[in-house]
Amino acid sequence: MNIIELIDNMRAGKEAALARLISLAERNDPQLSDVMQKIQPQLGHAYTIGITGPPGAGKSSLTNQLTQQLRQQDYTVGIIAIDPSSPFTGGAVLGDRVRMEDHYLDPGVFIRSMASRGSHGGLARAAKDAIKILDASGKDFILVETVGVGQTELDVMQTVDTVAVVLVPEGGDAIQMLKAGLMEIADLFVVNKADRDGAPQIVSALKSILHLKYTTSGNITKRESAGDDVWEVPVVATQGISGEGVGEMLARINKHREFIQASGELEHRRKQRRREDLLSQLQYLMRETLEQACKESDDIHTLVNRVVAGDDASHAVIGKLLPLTLDYMQNQSKNL
């Protein structure tokens, strides 16, 4: 089946075609560029929500409950669950599937677990393309559940429209997350497992800290504003297993959506996302090209080895390495 047929079948609601197109993204298949170009006119319909936070915070259970809420409102949902483990050994992938098993037979829900594969930041590079493919398939909402480690939170901020940061009462997560800079990333804080000891105190502390930030620092803590109005990050208490509080979580997400649409921030975020995606693709291409060129070009191999051996500083060889790499890329293009 050719690319056009796959895309047509995906648009017609055939999950097998959707799965095959996402597999092309995971393999970085040579046909992927044609796929992405052909679906470009269909992008922008879906609203994307990132659900991030530390491991064990109950993100999968919350994603499951949020999906149930959206389906009750007759919205279609795509789910990308980023897994830090190997795609061959299973690990957390199996856990995600078990917690979301209620939706596997629902034709209005598509779930895909993707391994980070060591991608910088933990968010699989292919996941960004998978989100676009889900958008082109006609999904109303796309939920992206991250592993919540390293730079993943920054990655997800540059990938979705609304970021929900999930915390749990124990372990001092709330304060640690604020210290880690998530104040700038979160559009919504969710204190999950709110039936546990200390949950009310964490909710109260978070609200106090956030209120203090806004009253003393003006708008410096958030990216979006509409006139004199500022989006003050809300704090919601939930129980992912029972679903308690998830309705309020969805209401807050919808409120944030309305806010950034009215302020123009939604379109700004999406433009920034397209720009970052382009730069990311260029960075990846240059890295792959340089690694290949080291095997085939004696001049490039020599320069790289001098840095590896400690004879030259990397700064000193960039001026020579860059034009050599660009010449190599041009020659490769001519041979195609």
Instruction: Transcribe 42-93 into DSSP letters.
Output: GTT-SEEEEEE-STTS-HHHHHHHHHHHHHHTT--EEEEEEESS-TTT-THH
In whole angstroms, what is the distance from residue 147 CA to residue 91 CA?
A: 12
Closest to 280 (Cα-Cα) out of 163, 119, 138: 119
Residue 326: which pLDDT band, with cuts at 50, 70 and 90? confident
Residue-wise pLDDT tens digits, 19-34: 999 999 988 898 999 9
Q: Is the pLDDT confidence value at 140 over 90?
A: yes
Residue 274 CB neighbours (<10 A): 11
In whole angstroms, what is the distance from residue 24 CA to residue 130 CA?
A: 9
Q: Is the pLDDT confidence value at 287 over 90?
A: no
Residue-wise pLDDT tens digits, 176-206: 555 556 667 889 999 999 988 888 888 888 8
Residue 285: the pLDDT is: 84
Helix (H) or strand (E) run with residue 185 in it: none
CATH code for the structural domain at 42-265: 3.40.50.300
Strand locations in the chain (E) = 47-52, 77-83, 109-115, 141-145, 162-167, 188-191, 225-226, 229-230, 235-237
Residue 46: which pLDDT band, with cuts at 50, 70 and 90? very high
In whole angstroms, what is the distance from residue 93 CA to residue 113 CA?
A: 6
Mean pLDDT, residues 313-324 taken together: 92
Q: Is the pLDDT confidence value at 223 over 50?
A: no
Instruction: Transcribe 22-35 into DSSP letters.
Output: HHHHHHT-TTHHHH
Mean pLDDT, residues 34-57 taken together: 92
Residue 262: the pLDDT is: 95
Residue 10: the pLDDT is: 97
Q: Is the pLDDT confidence value at 227 over 70?
A: no
Q: Is the pLDDT confidence value at 143 over 80?
A: yes
Q: Is the pLDDT confidence value at 220 over 50?
A: no
In the chain, where are the structural domains located?
42-265, 278-335
Q: Is the pLDDT confidence value at 173 over 80?
A: no
Residue-wise pLDDT tens digits, 144-156: 998 765 555 566 6
In whole angstroms, what is the distance from residue 187 CA to residue 184 CA?
A: 8
Closest to 164 (Cα-Cα) out of 221, 243, 248: 248
- Residue 6's identity, in one-letter code, is L
Q: Please report, in angstroms and rounded to a whole number, the separation of the first and last CA atoms in the chain.
A: 24
In whole angstroms, what is the distance from residue 143 CA to residue 79 CA?
A: 5
Mean pLDDT, residues 233-248 taken together: 93
Which one is predicted more confidently, 95 or 247? 247
Mean pLDDT, residues 281-286 taken together: 84
* β-pair partners for 112: 80
Residue 275 near residue 282 (C-beta atoms within 8 A): no
Q: Is the pLDDT confidence value at 142 over 90?
A: yes
Q: What is the pTM of this model?
A: 0.85
Q: Is the pLDDT confidence value at 271 over 90?
A: yes
Residue 85 near residue 115 (C-beta atoms within 8 A): yes
Structure tokens at 92: 């957390």
Residue 175 CB neighbours (<10 A): 14
Residue 92: the pLDDT is: 43
Residue-wise pLDDT tens digits, 112-130: 988 765 444 335 678 889 9
Q: Is the pLDDT confidence value at 76 over 70?
A: yes
The rounded mean pLDDT for the chain is 83
